[in-house]
Structure 1
Amino acid sequence: MESKQFMVTFSFETALSHKFITLVPKHREKVNELMMDGKILTYSLCIESGLLWAVFEVKNEFELKKIIKTLPLSSFMEFEINQLTFHNSGANFSMSYSLN
Structure 2
Amino acid sequence: MNKYQVSVFFSIDEDFMSLVPKHRGVINELILKGVIDSYAISAEVGRGWITMNAKDKPDIHKQLERSPLYKYFELEIDQLMVYDSQMYRFPKMVLN
TM-score with structure 2 length normalisation? 0.89
> Tell me, which stretches of 5 or more residues in structure 2 are unaligned?
none
Calculate percent identity across the aligned residue pairs: 30
The SS at the match of 1:87 is: coil
Deviates more, 1:44-53 or 1:3-12: 44-53
| 1:8-66 deviation line (CA, Å, top 9, x unaligned) | 000112xx211100100010110000000000001011031111000000112221111
> Tell me, which stretches of 5 or more residues in structure 1 are unaligned?
none
Query: RMSD value over aligned CA atoms?
Result: 1.5
Inter-partner Cα distance in structure 2 for 1:29 and 1:86:
29
Moved over 2 A (4+): none
Partner of 1:69: 65
Partner of 1:29: 25
Counterpart of 1:75, as a letter, is K
Q: Does 2:48 match 1:52?
A: yes
1:83 aligns with one of 58, 79, 85 = 79
Inter-partner Cα distance in structure 1 for 2:92 and 2:49:
28
**Count of aligned pairs:** 93
The SS at the match of 2:65 is: helix
